[in-house]
Amino acid sequence: MTGVLEGIRVLDYGRFIAAPWCSAILADMGADVLRVEKREGGEDRWVQSVTDSGEGGTFLQCNRNKRSLTLDSTTEQGAEITRRLVARSDIVIANMPAAGMRASGLDYDTLRAIKPDIILASATAYGEGGPYSDRIGFDGAGQVMSGAVYRQGLPELPIRTVVPYADFGTALTLAIGVMMALYHRDRTGTGQHVESALLPTAMMLSNAHLIERDLLGIDKPRMGNRGASVAPCDLYRTADDQWVLLQIAGAPMFKRWCRLVGRPELFEDPRFADDDLRWQHGDLLNDLMADWCAQRTKAEVLAALMDAKLPAAPLHSTQDVLDDPHVAAMGYLQRVPFPGAAHDVPIIETPFRMSGTPGSIRRRAPLLGEHTDEVLDEIGYDPGQVARLRADGIV
């Protein structure tokens, strides 16, 4: 089946997550994405190594469906290769501060001088135009500076999440912007610069906390796994030393929960008249639920909660996820072979599904420079010229 973005060419200078995951989504949808790396490989290639040759798990996820070209773009010959690549491309994606973009010849003015309708998609830590714009930062910077980590964790210890949601969220917002820019270009013939950043993405995801603080002048305390605005809500330990999540919101759910735990009178108790009041008295409700769960196995707890139509879920280990029958039935993880991996690698599918033009994983992440000769041939270099470029350390 033809991908909806077939014929779109993308130059990917991204590293780590924000830019590479954006370009991976475009690649899933049929775009020809070329990852341009230093001759020794981008540093993100080797983080969290899981293969014999050193590629990391996040690299394998974020770089499927791409080709790899190694290039020293600081040389005159390398700059010429870059110009030829830009001239035939639709989109350039990178994540680095503006100064680094200019130094690499990847700033918007330089790119559109080569290709007037080019779309530049850039991801940064803080966004361009402010006092922090020249700073570098990873996902954690967005988390801790958004106010979210201030509100999460234990009473005595703020805790950032191990899941890099600011990075992946920035990738998704950048992909949305790129698609809007492509749509605009199709209508007008004009390219543009699309920007996304870790800090505003993290602020978007935690905006309600900022609104609450601004309008009500309060910051609710850190409460571990308990709910920030509703109760009962927590992870509860079961009799067989497992954990189950329950989140109750709204009067109908609360009424069903009261019946389930044998305390129907709580529904008429003025202390629990709405979600805010239930949160304020959440210790009592959470303690009741904790006691109820402690007398039952995980299977018994989940069965009862599901029968009562209450939103509950088991705490999965990473192995539990790999073994989950729903994950298997839905095909959320695609098994993709990779040289040097112990066996086929479980790679998450395209994070949305389309009935007519679905995304797909057509090829594994590339080995370092795996497609260098192929790409150079496409832009007019003959085998002798490629051999000289290799001998000179350009590719």
Tens digits of residue pLDDT in 214-265: 999 999 999 999 999 999 999 999 999 999 999 999 999 999 999 999 999 9
Domain that holds residue 336: 9-205+328-392
305 lies in the same domain as 340: no
Q: Is residue 197 part of a domain?
A: yes
CATH number reported for the structural domain that contains residue 297 in this entry:
3.30.1540.10
Contact 250, 311 (CB under 8 A): no
Beta-carbon count within 10 A of 128 CB: 14
For residue 157, what are the β-bridge partners?
154
Q: Sheet with 32-37: list strands edge to edge.
A: 66-70, 32-37, 9-13, 91-94, 119-124, 193-197
Q: Give the DSSP letter string of 239-250.
A: TTS-EEEEE--S
Coil, strand or helix: which one is 76? helix
What is the domain-level CATH number for residue 121? 3.40.50.10540
Based on the domain organization, do 243 and 162 belong to the same domain? no
What global pTM score does this model have?
0.94
280 occurs within a structural domain? yes
> What is the predicted pLDDT for the residue at 2?
73
According to the model, what pLDDT value does residue 1 have?
59
Q: Which whole number is the average pLDDT over 80-109?
A: 91
- 344 noted as active-site residue: no
**CA-based R_g, the chain, Å:** 25
End-of-domain residue from the set 294, 316, 338: 316
Domain's final residue, options 316, 346, 377 = 316
User: What are the b/e assignments for 285-312, b being 16+ CB within 10 Å?
Assistant: bbebbeebbeebebeebbebbeeeebeb
Identify whether residues 123 and 258 lie together within a single domain.
Answer: no
Query: What does the pLDDT read at residue 352?
Result: 95
Q: Are residues 284 and 379 in the same domain?
A: no
Query: Identity (one letter) of the amino acid at 253?
Result: M
pLDDT of 100 higher than 90: no
Domain assignment of residue 213, yes or no: no
**150: in domain:** yes
* Angle, helix 198-205 to helix 207-216, in steps of 10 degrees: 70
Same domain, 376 and 285: no
Q: Within a domain: residue 258?
A: yes
Same domain, 29 and 154: yes
Of the residues 32, 44, 107, 167, only one is catalytic, namely 167
**Based on the domain organization, do 139 and 13 belong to the same domain?**
yes
On whether both 127 and 69 belong to a single domain, the answer is yes
pLDDT in tens, 253-278: 999 999 999 999 999 999 999 999 99
Q: What is the pLDDT of residues 328-347, one digit of tens each?
A: 999 999 999 999 999 999 99
Secondary structure in 3-state letters for 292-334: HHHCCCHHHHHHHHHHCCCCEEECCCHHHHHHCHHHHHHCCEE
Please report, rounded to a whole number, the percentage of residues in the chain having pLDDT higher than 90: 95
Mean pLDDT of 286-291: 98
CB 154 within 8 A of CB 228: no
One domain, residues 142 and 173: yes
**Quick one: 70 and 34 in the same domain?**
yes
Residues 347, 307 share a domain:
no
CA dist., res. 98 & res. 195, Å (int): 11
Q: Is 99 exposed, middle or buried (0-12, 13-18, 19+ CB in 10 A)?
A: exposed
- Domains of the chain: total: 2
Q: Is residue 223 part of a domain?
A: no
Domain boundary among 316, 341, 360: 316
Residue 217 domain flag: no
Q: Are residues 307 and 333 in the same domain?
A: no
* 333 part of a folded domain: yes
